[in-house]
Amino acid sequence: MNLESWALFTATEAAMSLSPGPAVMMVVAVGIARGWKTSLFVTLGILTANAIYFALSATGIGSLLLTSPMLFMGIKYLGAAYLVYLGLSAILGKPSPISISRLDGPPQKGSRIFFSALSLQLTNPKILLTFVAILPQFIDQHEAVGLQMLILAICSIIPEFFILLGYGVLASKASHWATQEKYAVMTERIAGVLILCAATLVAAV
Protein backbone atom coordinates (compact mmCIF):
# COMPACT_ATOMS: atom_id res chain seq x y z
CA MET A 1 0.00 0.00 0.00
CA ASN A 2 1.38 3.39 -0.98
CA LEU A 3 0.86 6.89 0.34
CA GLU A 4 -1.61 7.69 -2.43
CA SER A 5 -3.89 4.83 -1.34
CA TRP A 6 -3.74 5.96 2.28
CA ALA A 7 -4.64 9.52 1.35
CA LEU A 8 -7.50 8.39 -0.90
CA PHE A 9 -8.92 6.11 1.78
CA THR A 10 -8.66 8.85 4.41
CA ALA A 11 -10.46 11.32 2.14
CA THR A 12 -13.17 8.77 1.35
CA GLU A 13 -13.76 7.97 5.01
CA ALA A 14 -13.83 11.65 5.93
CA ALA A 15 -16.42 12.38 3.24
CA MET A 16 -18.62 9.50 4.39
CA SER A 17 -18.28 10.57 8.04
CA LEU A 18 -19.29 14.11 7.12
CA SER A 19 -22.61 12.91 5.71
CA PRO A 20 -25.29 13.01 8.45
CA GLY A 21 -26.38 9.51 9.45
CA PRO A 22 -27.46 7.64 12.59
CA ALA A 23 -24.07 8.10 14.28
CA VAL A 24 -23.97 11.84 13.57
CA MET A 25 -27.57 12.25 14.68
CA MET A 26 -26.82 10.58 18.00
CA VAL A 27 -23.75 12.76 18.55
CA VAL A 28 -25.79 15.87 17.79
CA ALA A 29 -28.69 14.77 19.99
CA VAL A 30 -26.44 14.17 22.98
CA GLY A 31 -24.43 17.32 22.24
CA ILE A 32 -27.57 19.44 22.25
CA ALA A 33 -29.04 17.90 25.39
CA ARG A 34 -25.96 17.15 27.48
CA GLY A 35 -23.10 19.15 25.99
CA TRP A 36 -20.17 18.27 23.76
CA LYS A 37 -18.17 16.58 26.52
CA THR A 38 -20.92 14.02 27.05
CA SER A 39 -21.20 13.52 23.27
CA LEU A 40 -17.62 12.22 23.40
CA PHE A 41 -19.01 8.99 24.87
CA VAL A 42 -21.07 8.59 21.70
CA THR A 43 -18.02 9.22 19.53
CA LEU A 44 -15.96 6.67 21.46
CA GLY A 45 -18.74 4.09 21.14
CA ILE A 46 -19.00 4.63 17.38
CA LEU A 47 -15.25 4.39 16.86
CA THR A 48 -14.96 1.30 19.06
CA ALA A 49 -17.53 -0.43 16.84
CA ASN A 50 -15.51 0.60 13.79
CA ALA A 51 -12.36 -0.86 15.36
CA ILE A 52 -14.20 -4.15 15.89
CA TYR A 53 -15.25 -4.17 12.23
CA PHE A 54 -11.67 -3.50 11.15
CA ALA A 55 -10.43 -6.43 13.26
CA LEU A 56 -13.04 -8.77 11.79
CA SER A 57 -12.38 -7.50 8.27
CA ALA A 58 -8.65 -8.19 8.59
CA THR A 59 -9.36 -11.90 9.01
CA GLY A 60 -12.11 -12.01 6.41
CA ILE A 61 -10.20 -10.17 3.70
CA GLY A 62 -7.09 -12.24 4.38
CA SER A 63 -9.08 -15.45 3.89
CA LEU A 64 -10.70 -14.08 0.75
CA LEU A 65 -7.30 -13.29 -0.77
CA LEU A 66 -6.13 -16.85 -0.16
CA THR A 67 -9.25 -18.54 -1.51
CA SER A 68 -10.39 -16.40 -4.43
CA PRO A 69 -8.34 -13.50 -5.85
CA MET A 70 -10.90 -13.06 -8.65
CA LEU A 71 -13.74 -12.66 -6.15
CA PHE A 72 -11.61 -10.15 -4.27
CA MET A 73 -11.21 -8.06 -7.44
CA GLY A 74 -14.92 -8.30 -8.14
CA ILE A 75 -15.69 -6.91 -4.69
CA LYS A 76 -13.27 -4.05 -5.33
CA TYR A 77 -15.22 -2.93 -8.41
CA LEU A 78 -18.55 -3.40 -6.66
CA GLY A 79 -17.19 -1.19 -3.91
CA ALA A 80 -16.42 1.56 -6.41
CA ALA A 81 -19.97 1.29 -7.74
CA TYR A 82 -21.29 1.50 -4.18
CA LEU A 83 -19.35 4.72 -3.64
CA VAL A 84 -20.95 6.17 -6.77
CA TYR A 85 -24.36 5.17 -5.43
CA LEU A 86 -23.68 6.84 -2.09
CA GLY A 87 -22.44 10.01 -3.75
CA LEU A 88 -25.40 10.31 -6.12
CA SER A 89 -27.85 9.54 -3.32
CA ALA A 90 -26.37 12.33 -1.23
CA ILE A 91 -26.48 14.84 -4.11
CA LEU A 92 -29.87 13.95 -5.59
CA GLY A 93 -31.72 12.90 -2.46
CA LYS A 94 -33.71 15.03 -0.07
CA PRO A 95 -31.91 14.86 3.28
CA SER A 96 -33.82 15.46 6.47
CA PRO A 97 -32.47 17.96 8.98
CA ILE A 98 -31.33 16.67 12.34
CA SER A 99 -34.57 17.29 14.19
CA ILE A 100 -33.71 16.07 17.68
CA SER A 101 -33.59 19.19 19.82
CA ARG A 102 -33.60 17.70 23.31
CA LEU A 103 -33.22 14.37 25.08
CA ASP A 104 -35.91 13.75 27.65
CA GLY A 105 -35.32 12.16 31.02
CA PRO A 106 -32.56 12.37 33.61
CA PRO A 107 -28.87 12.47 32.59
CA GLN A 108 -27.47 9.08 31.60
CA LYS A 109 -24.17 7.63 32.71
CA GLY A 110 -21.32 7.90 30.25
CA SER A 111 -20.98 4.11 30.10
CA ARG A 112 -24.62 3.72 29.11
CA ILE A 113 -24.29 6.32 26.37
CA PHE A 114 -21.10 4.59 25.17
CA PHE A 115 -22.74 1.17 24.87
CA SER A 116 -25.82 2.66 23.20
CA ALA A 117 -23.59 4.20 20.52
CA LEU A 118 -21.62 0.96 20.21
CA SER A 119 -24.83 -1.00 19.63
CA LEU A 120 -26.09 1.58 17.14
CA GLN A 121 -22.96 1.32 15.00
CA LEU A 122 -22.65 -2.46 15.19
CA THR A 123 -26.21 -2.91 13.95
CA ASN A 124 -26.04 -0.32 11.16
CA PRO A 125 -26.24 -2.20 7.81
CA LYS A 126 -24.63 0.71 5.97
CA ILE A 127 -21.49 0.33 8.05
CA LEU A 128 -21.36 -3.40 7.30
CA LEU A 129 -21.65 -2.67 3.57
CA THR A 130 -18.85 -0.14 3.87
CA PHE A 131 -16.47 -2.66 5.37
CA VAL A 132 -17.45 -5.48 3.00
CA ALA A 133 -17.53 -3.54 -0.26
CA ILE A 134 -15.14 -0.62 0.12
CA LEU A 135 -12.17 -1.78 2.20
CA PRO A 136 -10.89 -4.35 -0.35
CA GLN A 137 -10.29 -1.54 -2.86
CA PHE A 138 -7.46 -0.20 -0.72
CA ILE A 139 -5.76 -3.52 0.08
CA ASP A 140 -2.62 -4.57 -1.77
CA GLN A 141 -2.86 -8.31 -2.38
CA HIS A 142 0.92 -8.66 -2.26
CA GLU A 143 1.43 -7.17 1.20
CA ALA A 144 0.50 -8.23 4.73
CA VAL A 145 -3.25 -7.70 5.19
CA GLY A 146 -3.09 -7.27 8.97
CA LEU A 147 -0.65 -4.35 8.82
CA GLN A 148 -2.62 -2.68 6.03
CA MET A 149 -5.85 -3.00 8.01
CA LEU A 150 -4.16 -1.42 11.03
CA ILE A 151 -3.04 1.53 8.90
CA LEU A 152 -6.49 1.90 7.34
CA ALA A 153 -8.09 1.74 10.78
CA ILE A 154 -5.91 4.62 11.96
CA CYS A 155 -6.64 6.57 8.76
CA SER A 156 -10.36 6.07 9.39
CA ILE A 157 -10.66 6.56 13.14
CA ILE A 158 -8.60 9.75 13.48
CA PRO A 159 -10.51 11.93 10.97
CA GLU A 160 -13.88 10.51 12.04
CA PHE A 161 -13.08 11.33 15.66
CA PHE A 162 -12.53 14.99 14.84
CA ILE A 163 -15.57 15.14 12.53
CA LEU A 164 -17.86 13.68 15.20
CA LEU A 165 -16.24 15.91 17.81
CA GLY A 166 -16.97 18.88 15.58
CA TYR A 167 -20.61 17.88 15.27
CA GLY A 168 -20.87 17.54 19.05
CA VAL A 169 -19.30 20.95 19.69
CA LEU A 170 -21.44 22.68 17.06
CA ALA A 171 -24.59 21.05 18.40
CA SER A 172 -23.70 22.09 21.93
CA LYS A 173 -22.90 25.68 20.98
CA ALA A 174 -25.49 26.31 18.26
CA SER A 175 -28.36 23.84 18.45
CA HIS A 176 -30.63 26.05 16.33
CA TRP A 177 -28.07 25.98 13.49
CA ALA A 178 -27.43 22.23 13.75
CA THR A 179 -31.10 21.45 13.24
CA GLN A 180 -31.75 23.68 10.23
CA GLU A 181 -32.76 22.04 6.95
CA LYS A 182 -30.39 24.30 5.01
CA TYR A 183 -27.46 22.93 6.99
CA ALA A 184 -28.50 19.30 6.38
CA VAL A 185 -28.86 19.87 2.62
CA MET A 186 -25.53 21.71 2.32
CA THR A 187 -23.62 19.06 4.28
CA GLU A 188 -25.16 16.20 2.28
CA ARG A 189 -24.37 17.81 -1.06
CA ILE A 190 -20.76 18.50 -0.12
CA ALA A 191 -20.31 14.96 1.15
CA GLY A 192 -21.87 13.57 -2.04
CA VAL A 193 -19.46 15.46 -4.29
CA LEU A 194 -16.47 14.33 -2.22
CA ILE A 195 -17.61 10.70 -2.31
CA LEU A 196 -18.05 10.83 -6.10
CA CYS A 197 -14.54 12.26 -6.45
CA ALA A 198 -13.23 9.42 -4.32
CA ALA A 199 -15.10 6.86 -6.45
CA THR A 200 -13.56 8.31 -9.61
CA LEU A 201 -10.06 8.10 -8.17
CA VAL A 202 -10.64 4.55 -6.93
CA ALA A 203 -11.78 3.41 -10.37
CA ALA A 204 -8.76 5.06 -12.01
CA VAL A 205 -6.07 3.34 -9.91
Please state the pTM of the whole predicted model: 0.69
pLDDT of 176: 56
Average pLDDT on 163-185 reads 73
DSSP summary character for residue 196: H
Residue 204 pLDDT grade (very low, low, confident, very high; cuts 50, 70, 90): low
pLDDT exceeds 60 at position 93 = yes
- Using only C-alpha atoms, what is the Rg of the chain? 17
